[in-house]
Structure 1
Amino acid sequence: MAATTYFTPTSLKLMREFARNNNREWFTEHKARWEAVVRDPFLHLIGDLAAPLARISKHYRADPRPHGGSMFRIYRDTRFAKDKTPYKTWLGARLYHERAPQVHAPLFYMHIQPGDSFAGGGLWHPEPPTLARVREFLIDNPAAWKKATRGKKFLETFHLGGEALSRAPQGLDPAHELIADLKRKDFVASRELSDAQITSAELAPLLIESFKGVAPLVDYLCASLDLEF
């Protein structure tokens, strides 16, 4: 992949301005500029990740379509939210499993936001039946989980995050060697990306490196749900 700079300091400056002016009037006035220096470069990046992602797993997709692809839609769902601001002022993309339309599958993810960018992957907010399957698989396959998430390079690079129960799930041994993981409600790992990295030509290679690094976790989760990787 040729070295490409997708975002510039101007891109991040506009994103900060948008975050301070999250309203329809501002966005209508600045929409063309937003698309030119923020949205379109992001779609370009997603498209450039498709081929290297396929080399990590042929079952995952990086879809650069502006609507219905990998990029999250800009409009927030405010129906049940206290925060009624209408837009997402950050960029997010899910690089999804080919079976994602049918099942809740693990994914690769990237998030661009000044001062809070990150990349990683995993399974976010699975439904109870899916969560139960992952926990059962953890109990039956502890060594493979530790291999995927306890390696020196993984621990130096990624942070396992998401929500977790305060107590052991009902019916599980509180003394189980993986109880901290069995209490998880999310199985996700991510690494932080600096603004300097976001605006450099190293962004795409860094994302690919990140997806390779988190791939064993995604692979494990796919196996727990009988999905190909």
Structure 2
Amino acid sequence: MPGRFTGFGADSYAFLRGLAESQSRDWFQRNRETYETHLRGPLGDLVEHVAAVYKKKKIPLIGTREKSLFRIYRNLRFSKDKTPYKTFVSAIWSRDGGRGSDGIIYVHIDPAGSFLAAGHYQSEPPVLAALRGAIRDNPAGFRKMIAALAKKDLVMKRDDVASRVPRGFEDVEADDLKDALKLKSFIVSRPVDEDEVRTPDFVDTVLTFTTDVMPLLKFGWTATADLTPTTPPDGPADD
């Protein structure tokens, strides 16, 4: 049976603040029960509770506690920063249940600022090319999607932008389309506060956000329909 989300635990944010301050394996092991009870357990419940509602509403997104939760351990292989732990917890819902799918809902719980996000993040070159092609070939559809997002106070993030219009798209003249073509990720986000994530009502917050971002997800899914894998990846999330 999927978990029923009742809110992140009372000590969830305090644990993350303490972990950020200590970055100690000994500290983590001493407080591991708090992590499991107040953070990871509820995060798994949230993923499965929301996924159950998605299924009922025929929203093509799935998630499980086995494959959709990111680990709290940092990947240190190519990082100069050797602190062992992330200072947040996070998870996704995707069409195949894994983290490699494009067009996702993402939840990020962090004392420095929790948020929900959606879209296509740092996509592989074929996916990015398909998204850009859809912008060029269907400008009316792209602008309709942008307008629908704007009505919900959602704006495409510009944290990951190329310095110039990519090769092959130089014939595009409209400034709004050129700006969009420079994007390397197509993401929107919405902040959520600490009190909000502590209650069962956070499920409704995620569902409302999902409805609000569906124009972006559908635009991307249509653009990448021939590229999206349909076989769920094996194994748990490990990053």
TM exceeding 0.5:
yes
- Aligned residue for 1:197, secondary structure, equals helix
Correspondence list, 1:12-27, <5 A: 12-27=13-28
Could you tell me the percent identity over the aligned residues? 29
Amino acid in the other structure paired with 1:107? I
Report what 1:42 is aligned to. 43
Q: Is the 8 A contact 1:19 1:89 kept in 2?
A: yes
> Does 1:172 find its partner at 2:172?
no
Amino acid in the other structure paired with 2:86? K
Report what 2:231 is aligned to. none
Amino acid in the other structure paired with 1:20? E
Report what 1:211 is aligned to. 210
Correspondence list, 1:1-229, <5 A: 5-55=6-56, 57-65=58-66, 69-98=67-96, 104-151=101-148, 154-161=150-157, 162-173=159-170, 175-176=173-174, 177-226=176-225
Amino acid in the other structure paired with 1:170? R
Q: Is the 8 A contact 1:125 1:186 kept in 2?
A: yes
Assess, with a 3 A threshold, how the Cα gap between structure 1 residues 121 and 208 changes in structure 2: closer, same or farther.
same
Deviation per residue, 1:98-133 (Å, 9 max, x gap): 2868x7421111111113111121111111122111
Assess, with a 3 A threshold, how the Cα gap between structure 1 residues 86 and 56 changes in structure 2: closer, same or farther.
farther
Deviation per residue, 1:52-110 (Å, 9 max, x gap): 22355543212122xxx111012211111111111222111110112868x74211111
For residues 119 and 70 of structure 2, what CA distance do their matches in structure 1 show?
17
Q: Is the 8 A contact 2:95 2:104 kept in 1?
A: yes
For residues 15 and 99 of structure 1, what CA distance do their matches in structure 2 show?
26
Q: Is the 8 A contact 2:152 2:212 kept in 1?
A: no
Superposition RMSD in Å:
2.3
Deviation per residue, 1:10-32 (Å, 9 max, x gap): 22111111111122111111111
Amino acid in the other structure paired with 2:112? G
Deviation per residue, 1:160-191 (Å, 9 max, x gap): 21401121112323633411111100011111
For residues 49 and 163 of structure 1, what CA distance do their matches in structure 2 show?
29
Assess, with a 3 A threshold, how the Cα gap between structure 1 residues 196 and 100 changes in structure 2: closer, same or farther.
closer
Structure 1 runs not aligned, ≥5 long: none
- Aligned residue for 1:44, secondary structure, equals helix
Q: Is the 8 A contact 1:119 1:193 kept in 2?
A: yes
Amino acid in the other structure paired with 1:61? I
For residues 6 and 97 of structure 2, what CA distance do their matches in structure 1 show?
32
Q: Is the 8 A contact 1:168 1:179 kept in 2?
A: yes
- Give the TM-score, by structure 1 length: 0.87
Q: Is the 8 A contact 1:56 1:212 kept in 2?
A: no
